[in-house]
Amino acid sequence: MVKKINLDEQIIHGAISLEQKGEYVKPWRIHYKEKDFYTPNLLNGQAEVPAGVRISLVSNTSKFKLDIAPSPLDLEFDILIDNELFRTFVVNANETCLEVSDLPNHIKRLDIYLSQRNKVELQALWIDEDASFQPFNDARKKWVTYGSSITQCYLAESPSQTWPAITAKELDLNLICLGYSGECQYEPMIARMIRDTPVDFIHLNASINSYNAETYNHRTFQAVVIGFIKIIREKHKNVPIVLSSSIYGAHRETTENRVGFTLVQMRKEVEEVVKIFNKNGDDHIFYVNGLDIFGAEHGHLLPDNLHPNAEGYKIMGQNFADAFKPYLN
């Protein structure tokens, strides 16, 4: 016999909202009831991908079964026991069940990290009939990080080996990952969402997709970033914000795009934004140079000259943890 565990906000962590779709629960990284306002096309579909989202509980169960909706793509899951990676599992395309039967039977914190690459819809979680169970009450500082595909980390080794997950583990933080592949264009809807989300620490990354998509020029870039932060500050008056610039970007460092930007120039403008806030009395916003996180010396870890590989994301995770430590007191 087995016991069914409700899949709700008590055990699903890292999501912005949960949608009940018939028998399935779908985690979202936006407010799904307002999804039409998150253009273009739900941030190009990335808001439905549960990067950083995990099921977290405390139990002595020796096995579990997670029923999911069939997906046309393989889905990868990480199982963590007491915050340490136990095993990575792949549910093949169109299969509907993840079963793990060799867990240690002592009381433990169990985390199931969902895929950071593809959509996941959850149906039911089952544990041993006689097993103890309680939701994991995550009292750690809540951290939200906003970025692009380099924050979603498609090429990470597995869902818990993204740089945000590694940083969260190193600093003992409760992660909300707002890394959206191809996005991070400082839309007001995302600023409003961060503003309205209870958090203790905020990280914002700026520039790489604004460079790639040639979205903003020298007239508009700083204005958009400043407005974004001002919206967040409407409620998070004294929450520490770290604004970081792009990691090493190969030819983008010195090659101007069609609006006249290089990454070197964009980093200067990002740093200037922080100085403007500091000058005007905001002592809780800080700048981190992306080259201190992942510099030219790591260029060989960019297989496409843009995205770090699995090793690169591990380096980023540790370096961001070191960079954030001074601002978490």
DSSP letter string, 187-255: -HHHHHHHHTS--SEEEEEESHHHHHTT---TTTHHHHHHHHHHHHHTT-SSS-EEEEE----GGGGT-
Tabulate helix, strand, coil % of the chain (nearest 5). 30, 25, 40
Residues 290, 265: contact at Cβ < 8 Å?
Answer: no
Q: What is the predicted pLDDT for the residue at 89?
A: 98
Q: What is the predicted pLDDT for the residue at 2?
A: 86
The domain made up of 2-135 has a fold known as: Jelly Rolls (2.60.120)
Q: What is the predicted pLDDT for the residue at 207?
A: 87
pLDDT tens-digit series, residues 38-89: 999 999 999 999 999 999 999 999 999 999 999 999 999 999 999 999 999 9
Average pLDDT of the residues in 158-168? 98
CATH number for the segment(s) 142-327: 3.40.50.1110
pLDDT tens-digit series, residues 27-52: 999 999 999 999 999 999 999 999 99
Which alpha helices (H) appear in the chain, and where do they start and end? 41-44, 149-152, 163-171, 188-195, 208-212, 221-233, 263-279, 310-324
Residues 204, 241: contact at Cβ < 8 Å?
Answer: yes
pTM, 2 dp: 0.97
Domain ranges of the chain: 2-135, 142-327
